[in-house]
Structure 1
């Protein structure tokens, strides 16, 4: 009889308030092997790991269905403490280090080693002191396992992010009972050489009999180290296969592949349009978590250009940088004129409008009425909807009300009336109010970021239909940033894929699933280089 899996998650299902996000997922991990868990953003990977690690968000929303087996025995994991007691460790994307502590202190946090002294002999164990020599030796051993040159006595503050990632991993492998390690995008912040060092360290960890669940979008790394692969798409398990029996192209197609129904009535070759409305040259944006590291891009008049890519790769940074919301450098040339950076008001006056991905934090005045939200930018930028009585100005209430009612009807904003506070609208209707405010500026080019995030399928279609109508009937140039690749492929003329802060490539919406998957994983350029080398 074969040994039981270290971990077996069987037929896992999870829904959030009626929205099913995991639909019968099964994943098995063996001791001493790497099991890769792959999928696009929103595929269900994070939810599955939240279940495994007993995160409160799972149990505060009704729990889950299915079984978790550790070494062949069913377990109930209700908290991260339960997970750790079962030998499960997790290396998170977000660092959880204390800057004021040393490397050793971070590695041994909550597992400090104490030693007796003369005072503790008299007054009890509460007077014991840290056994720093033993703690440093343990930390050194964990760091050496990773094969990196980090001084265990050094303070963490100011260290390169790559070093911080290795310290996070060292903390997990220092735990004496660890059986399974979850690596969540561990190479995302690493240089190429650091990533190679980490992969070698993962092999050494497996040699010690520890199982690894490896979540990554870098498919070449998967092929280099994984034994087995599970692929999720839209909450469903679409493949469970051996790495040795597949390849990067097949994996990429399975991650992305789905039926794409184009909402456009025609396929246009927009690259032949002579007029470039906006050109970015060596464009860089310092947006935390979405940095742009040197983009060259032409946006043609009259097109719908999509900006796609995985989370944290930079796609959201482009629009925010153009609009002056985050520090930017390089050049943004609009109608032959260089745009001023960090001046949102000046950008809006040029005829460029923006619907932010953060509709509640940036896009809306939640306690103000729908009509005030719709007109406020235009009142400030273009001085519309204002009556002048000599030196005195006053809002033109009738004009505001008539304009708001028209857009409420045109965009099908479901509300009790134009005076309803925006806070009381559903997510989809809040999004449409943001679009209405942008349209009131009468822009030539509209940047819209994550326009369908967090809204239901009916509202999504209305929003996308609106963007198509603005483009087709009113000639508005639209740049749409979205994590929903299917939506980009359904309405865009071209789609630029942003990977690691740069444009990996530009595809037509009907290009192959494999090409999209490879570009999003950052492997497309490497594959082309290999083909050319042959």
Structure 2
């Protein structure tokens, strides 16, 4: 039949550049009516950018637009603003709920599309004096809830509903929009319990059976195998494959997502280290961290003295929570021992006092004093923790500006920080150079353990290589124990001795860098069902 071969959505040869950085390179995405199509790829693969293009988001059009074509129902579609996407029948169910807690279920479903009825005054003084037609709105809300098989009273307030129900109200709101043809579900099960997630997958099938197409963005391979008809895999901004689910397997999908690159990110350096399982630099036991969006739910790790230990995993799975918990930035519990001494997790700065330096993933929010000079940023922590760069003149303590300047100049040269000089403000540097300033500051306290989170995020390939090779040099020449947290699996596999993959706040597996792509893919996908992991 002709119906089955036509595509409701056809995005062809889509390319997008941000300030010289090509984040999409000739990507295709095709979805049929009534099809559940999984869009897959690691963080940074380009999924969000592709969806921003589909929805006509301002971030795309304020940065030069994109190349390629978007067709809806076989006709060229120009979508340069979010309301145009709605006109074409495209909706989205967000991971972060867009609901108003104080409103009822009905009011949330109809928000922005309220139905009004005329009053005596409005007939003479205009539509502004019409009143809400609550009966009609309730009928619509009831129908939308019924369409997705949800038995919930339409008059209850959203505040206090279980998270799963909030997700379902979001879906009902999209279904209520007239002419909806395509729904995008962005990581919809990430915050749901197992039973809620199963219910959601059933609702997706119900929606698709009505002829509405679904783009399902998820990292969970078992969910894809359960509900999707087909999938597209992106990797590093490129189209990798489009497959029908019946023609693929969990292992193949995992391999397509990870797809090891052949180039090595760092040159081999002489390795004379002897790592011992009995010589532990850091021991983490039953560690929980209350970091919103990166919860850690009971992790045990032993990190050997002198090793480069990697922590990987997809976004929102807890890997970033681990260093933030160790540094005392978020409430945590469990035990963290550093060379046998237990940290006081409730005391901010205790990790620094125990010789742990941290380069944060959030360099603008946590990592840098943006209005201060490069020099002040580099020496700030060492001044606080070790009273370094301070000279005593009688009873007074004065800032040793010469020592600070000399040290900053050494660091600028060593890490190739591109700047006008040590007095330039950190906030005026490029992202890569800001990252190098963060690294310089961490190294200035002469730590015994260095934690680096997302060390190369947002920096170009040349700076990336320099930063990574310098980390290896520190490890080999100074015996520095390094814990590296990264979304970039290629980085972890280039540098690390062992890599812990974190999924859903728990340790999925500890792998060696040369383990297969499929093993990494399965561990990162954090399959809910044990049987999937054993395939």
TM bucket, shorter chain: over 0.9
- Structure 1 segments of 4+ aligned residues over 6 angstroms from their partners: 266-271
Q: Quote the offset at 1:40 in angstroms.
A: 0.6
Unaligned runs of 5+ in 2: none
Are 2:106 and 2:137, in contact at CA under 8 Å, matched by a contact in 1? yes
The root-mean-square deviation of aligned C-alpha atoms, in Å, is 1.9
Say whether residues 1:307 and 2:298 are aligned partners: no
Structure 2 SS opposite 1:315: coil
Are 1:91 and 1:172, in contact at CA under 8 Å, matched by a contact in 2? yes
Are 1:315 and 1:498, in contact at CA under 8 Å, matched by a contact in 2? yes
Are 1:147 and 1:197, in contact at CA under 8 Å, matched by a contact in 2? no
Change in Cα spacing, 1:270 to 1:257, as seen in structure 2 (3 Å) is farther
CA–CA distance in 1 between the matches of 2:318 and 2:273? 26
Q: Quote the offset at 1:529 in angstroms.
A: 6.6
User: Aligned residues, how many?
Assistant: 531
* 1:358 pairs with one of 337, 347, 362: 362
Say whether residues 1:286 and 2:293 are aligned partners: no
Q: What residue number does 1:107 align with?
A: 109
* 1:68 pairs with one of 53, 67, 70: 70
Query: What is the CA deviation profile of residues 369-421 of structure 1, one whole-angstrom value per residue up to 9, with x for unaligned ones?
Result: 22211111111111111111232110112222222222222222222222222
* 1:421 pairs with one of 421, 425, 436: 425
Query: What is the CA deviation profile of residues 86-140 of structure 1, one whole-angstrom value per residue up to 9, with x for unaligned ones?
Result: 1111112221111221111111011111223444445443322212122122212
Q: Quote the offset at 1:331 in angstroms.
A: 1.2
Q: What residue number does 1:9 align with?
A: 11
Q: What residue number does 1:86 align with?
A: 88
CA–CA distance in 2 between the matches of 1:446 and 1:194? 40
Q: After alignment, is 85-94 or 156-165 more displaced?
A: 156-165
Query: What is the CA deviation profile of residues 264-308 of structure 1, one whole-angstrom value per residue up to 9, with x for unaligned ones?
Result: 547999874321111111111111111111111111111111111
Q: What residue number does 1:451 align with?
A: 455
Say whether residues 1:150 and 2:116 are aligned partners: no
Query: What is the CA deviation profile of residues 60-80 of structure 1, one whole-angstrom value per residue up to 9, with x for unaligned ones?
Result: 111111111111111101111
Change in Cα spacing, 1:433 to 1:116, as seen in structure 2 (3 Å) is same
CA–CA distance in 2 between the matches of 1:396 and 1:377? 14
Q: What residue number does 2:176 align with?
A: 174
Are 1:447 and 1:478, in contact at CA under 8 Å, matched by a contact in 2? yes
Q: Quote the offset at 1:159 in angstroms.
A: 2.7
Change in Cα spacing, 1:320 to 1:260, as seen in structure 2 (3 Å) is farther
* 2:350 pairs with one of 328, 346, 360: 346
CA–CA distance in 1 between the matches of 2:423 and 2:178? 61
Q: What residue number does 1:382 align with?
A: 386
CA–CA distance in 2 between the matches of 1:372 and 1:28? 52
Q: Quote the offset at 1:361 in angstroms.
A: 1.8
Are 2:361 and 2:455, in contact at CA under 8 Å, matched by a contact in 1? yes
Change in Cα spacing, 1:265 to 1:386, as seen in structure 2 (3 Å) is closer
Change in Cα spacing, 1:215 to 1:267, as seen in structure 2 (3 Å) is farther
* 2:245 pairs with one of 243, 246, 265: 243
Are 2:181 and 2:212, in contact at CA under 8 Å, matched by a contact in 1? yes
* 1:527 pairs with one of 509, 531, 534: 531
Q: Quote the offset at 1:149 in angstroms.
A: 4.1
Structure 2 SS opposite 1:255: helix
Are 1:323 and 1:342, in contact at CA under 8 Å, matched by a contact in 2? no
* TM-score, reference length from structure 2: 0.95
* TM-score, reference length from structure 1: 0.96
